[in-house]
Amino acid sequence: MKNIKIEILTIGEELLIGQTINTNAAWISEKLNEIGLKTYRHTTITDDKEIIKNTLQEIAQRADIILTTGGLGATNDDVTKKAFCEYFNVGLIRNENVLAHIKEIYLRRNRTITPTMESQADLPTNSTCIFNSVGIAPGMWFEEKGVIYVCMPGVPYEMKEMMHSFVLPELKKRFTQQSIYHHRIWIASLGESYIAEKLEKVEKELPKHIQLAYLPQIGIVQLRFTAIGDQQDNLKKQCVEIQEEVCSIFGDAVVGIGDNITLQGVLGDLLRDKNLTLSTAESCTGGYIAHLITSVPGSSVYFKGSVVSYNTEVKIEHLNISTQDVATTGVVSEKVAIQMAEGVRNLLKTDIAISTTGIAGPEGGTVENPIGTVWIGYADKEKSFAKRFVFEKDRLRNIQRAALMGLDIARKCLLS
């Protein structure tokens, strides 16, 4: 079967001045991808009739399907419908169903309908109407010279409704392509390039129909294997075999397999499964570990709380840190990190505890403890220890990296 080429054209000056982030293109691509259709290009242009016509002409030379959003409102800066009429050299015809729908909405809002509003029921003579059940401006579907054009509003929830109710089912019915299967493996606390080196052999031996992408975030890297073929089951089986090889290389650095894996989610699942509770004592991370943990719904089952001890006296008084150790080794030290973890574990009566003490920057570094130095402590009923890291110069990134590293240390301890 022919490889269907889809492009998305988002229309709107607000996107080109950076006032609005283009979430429509990503959302549409994701939904197409889920039914096995691949997006080849996103293009964003302004609300200008000539530019729209020229761009349509250009894309129609490359693509089989063009999905557009934006510029369908009733105000002067909305010119997409006019551009399509001129592009196809057709006139407008009033759609009585749409008109009745618009009138009903105005009646409900107690507003008088104007001719401009009524004109939103006028559609190009060569178009099929895509009904807008959650708004006013209808969408349009055109087929000309072997190219499908789908024209939708820029308002995300109106566009999404049209995609779900009409566009996706129609495309799925017509273009049953090969299956696309994504298999995601998440690895924590290792750099993208280190992972890539370790995977050199795996990557070389990948069959042609399976591709690997590295998607790094702070503290975690997603390996995405994309398999294309006829049988979804078979693709999955092949990916699972690769997964086994990857897991044998990285061991407990593998956080999880699946679509939306986070360290805080996986740690939470482990705590819940083992019926354990957690607390944190945070200095340089300033509450960010607690925030990550509590961003997971239902975390109150295992998370009891945190002492954010930004101030040294707070550490000494409430976490029971030895003043002598603070005086001899300093607050940013192994001893203090361990005592903080033990201290909060006792104070909040939890099974395990994580602590951080360090220098997030941009000031405060010393020769011994340069900016980015963080001690991360861990305590449970059997052991306590701390590890030293030296991150970079950026304050916010140091906070984030230290927090994720803390979560990962706890996760690994719970695994072993």
Binding its own copies by CB under 8 A: which of 308, 325, 346, 385? 308
Q: Which of 189, 309, 333, 369 binds its own copies (CB under 8 A)?
A: 309
- The pattern of x and - marking residues 223 through 252 that bind its own copies according to CB under 8 A reads -x----------------------------
* Residues 139, 145, 151: CA angle, nearest 5 degrees: 15
Pick one of 5, 49, 172, 318: the residue that binds its own copies (CB under 8 A).
318
- 153 lies in the site for its own copies, by CB under 8 A: no
Task: Name which of 26 and 415 has its Cβ closer to its own copies.
Answer: 26
> Is residue 334 within the footprint of its own copies (CB under 8 A)?
no
**26 is a contact residue toward its own copies (CB under 8 A):** yes
Rounded to an integer, what distance in angstroms lies between the CA atom of residue 87 and that of residue 56? 8
Shortest distance, position 269 Cβ to its own copies, whole Å:
17
212 binds its own copies (CB under 8 A): yes
Please give the structure tokens belonging to residue 365: 């570094």
189 binds its own copies (CB under 8 A): no
Pick the binder of its own copies from 93, 100, 213, 240 (CB under 8 A). 213
Q: Is 293 in the site for its own copies (CB under 8 A)?
A: yes
Among 229, 287, 330, 365, binds its own copies (CB under 8 A): 287
Closest approach of its own copies to the CB of residue 279, in Å: 9
Query: Closest approach of Cβ 399 to its own copies, in Å?
Result: 7
Distance, in Å, from the CA atom of 330 to the CA atom of 312, rounded to the nearest integer, reads 10
First-last CA distance in the chain: 50
**Interacting residue with its own copies among 165, 178, 232, 294 (CB under 8 A):** 294
In contact, 148 and 132? CB cutoff 8 Å:
no
Which of 295, 322, 323, 328 touches its own copies (CB under 8 A)? 295
> With binding defined as CB under 8 A, does residue 144 bind its own copies?
no
Q: Which residues, in sequence order, are CB contacts of 176 under 8 Å at separation 6+?
A: 36
**Please, which of residues 33-52 interact with its own copies by CB under 8 A?**
33, 38-46
Please list every residue from 348 through 387 that binds its own copies, using CB under 8 A: 348, 360-363
Q: Residue length, the chain?
A: 416
Does the footprint of its own copies cover residue 118 (CB under 8 A)?
A: no
Angle 312-319/334-347 helices, nearest 10 degrees?
50
Nearer to its own copies, 236 or 397 (CB): 397
Instruction: By CB under 8 A, tell whether 134 contacts its own copies.
Output: yes
Position 64 contacts its own copies (CB under 8 A): no
- Segment interacting with its own copies (CB under 8 A) among 14-22, 81-89, 138-146, 266-274: 14-22
Residue closest to 285 by CA, chosen among 365, 397, 371: 397
Q: Which two tokens stand for residue 65?
A: 């399907």
Decide if 81 contacts 124 (C-beta within 8 A): yes
306 binds its own copies (CB under 8 A): yes
In our burial notation (b when 16+ CB lie closer than 10 A, e otherwise), range 267-298 reads: bbebbeeeeebbbbbbbbbbbbbbebbbebee
> Which CB atom, from 341 or from 348, has the smaller least distance to its own copies?
348
Q: Is 176 in the site for its own copies (CB under 8 A)?
A: no
Q: Which two tokens stand for residue 64?
A: 């089989």
Query: Residue 143 or residue 272: which is nearer to its own copies going by CB?
Result: 272
Question: Hey, which residues between 259 and 278 contact its own copies (CB under 8 A)?
Answer: none
Give residue 297's identity as a one-letter amino acid code: P
The correct pick among 129, 228, 257, 347 for binding its own copies (CB under 8 A) is 347
Q: In what order do the strands lie in the sheet with 210-217?
A: 210-217, 220-229, 179-188, 254-257
Residue 28 as a binder of its own copies (CB under 8 A): the answer is yes
DSSP letter (8 states) at residue 44: E
Give the separation between CA 259 and CA 18, rounded to whole angstroms: 29
**Residues contacting residue 278 through CB under 8 Å, at least 6 positions apart:** 267, 271, 293, 302, 303, 304, 350, 351, 352, 353, 354, 410
DSSP state of 198: H
- 205 makes contact with its own copies (CB under 8 A): no
Q: What are phi and psi of 130, to 5 degrees?
A: -105, 110
